[in-house]
Chains A and B, each alone.
Chain A
């Protein structure tokens, strides 16, 4: 079974600084998706960024980028120029390729942004 591990339950960062959230996963599949979801206090699950495993180039979305290391099964999220609105729970997630499979989540990590 696939598993996703987020080893840091909490982190904090100063506003305008950069922070990196770590995630590792375990799978025997070669094709899959990886995601970072954000859950602010409103509890809405919001997609931050996605990565297809077959793509060697790391995904970026504005201030958010990932470091995808397929061999190491590592998928970290870097937030640049942190803003107060980035404060939230962040979940790393894995999904088998195919589009009809379930999403497997890590336990989540609480990010605090200090002004």
Chain B
């Protein structure tokens, strides 16, 4: 079975540019999570969705960040405009409610903003 698929794996961009990160959760999973990982702050939850509906976006840093989940098989995290402090690894994860509770993670998207 395919796991959580994220793209791109690596992104290097200039400050001020728009960045879009994409995620395809595991088929049948009904919860999707976006995490950000940095050395200083560790793993931070940005936002999560249940059944495509955003439940908690309190971790989204500011209005420059937005996330959507138009359907059960796709989500995007957009940063506009990007800043150097947004440089991090962004993980997408999914889970199924009626299971043993763990999240399944994608391989992450490493973002570098110059």
A87→B67 CA distance, assembly (Å) = 34
| Distance in Å: Cβ of B59 to nearest Cβ of chain A | 9
Complex: chain B residue closest to A47, CB-CB = B102
A106→B37 CA distance, assembly (Å) = 12
| Distance in Å: Cβ of A17 to nearest Cβ of chain B | 27
| Distance in Å: Cβ of A63 to nearest Cβ of chain B | 19
| Distance in Å: Cβ of A93 to nearest Cβ of chain B | 8
Judged by a CB distance under 8 angstroms, whether A78 is at the interface is no
User: How many chain A residues touch the partner (CB < 8 A)?
Assistant: 22
A35→B105 CA distance, assembly (Å) = 14
* CB-defined contacts of A99 to chain B, threshold 8 Å: 31, 95-99, 101
B interface footprint on A98-115 (CB within 8 Å = 1, 0 otherwise): 111011111110000000
Given A105-B43, A108-B42, A45 and B102 contact (CB-CB distance below 8 Å): no
B105 touches A100 (CB 8 A): no
A108→B31 CA distance, assembly (Å) = 24
Q: How large is the interface on B (under 10, 10 to 19, 20 to 34, 35 or more residues)?
A: 20 to 34
* CB-defined contacts of A45 to chain B, threshold 8 Å: 91, 93, 105, 108
* CB-defined contacts of A52 to chain B, threshold 8 Å: 100-101
Determine which residue in A43, A106, A108 has the highest number of CB atoms from chain B within 10 A of its CB, and name it. A43
Complex: chain A residue closest to B42, CB-CB = A107
* CB-defined contacts of A42 to chain B, threshold 8 Å: 107
* CB-defined contacts of B23 to chain A, threshold 8 Å: none
A-B contact pairs, 10 of them (CB 8 A): A35-B102, A44-B105, A44-B107, A47-B102, A98-B97, A99-B31, A99-B96, A100-B31, A103-B103, A108-B43
Interface residue ranges, B against A (CB under 8 Å) = 30-31, 33, 42-43, 45, 48, 50, 55-56, 89, 91, 93, 95-105, 107-108, 110
Question: Can you add 20 more A-B contacts, CB < 8 Å, to A47-B104, A50-B100?
Answer: A43-B110, A44-B105, A52-B100, A91-B43, A95-B103, A98-B97, A99-B31, A99-B97, A99-B98, A100-B55, A100-B95, A100-B97, A102-B33, A102-B45, A103-B93, A103-B103, A105-B42, A105-B43, A108-B42, A108-B43
Interface residue ranges, A against B (CB under 8 Å) = 33, 35, 42-45, 47, 50, 52, 91, 95, 97-100, 102-108
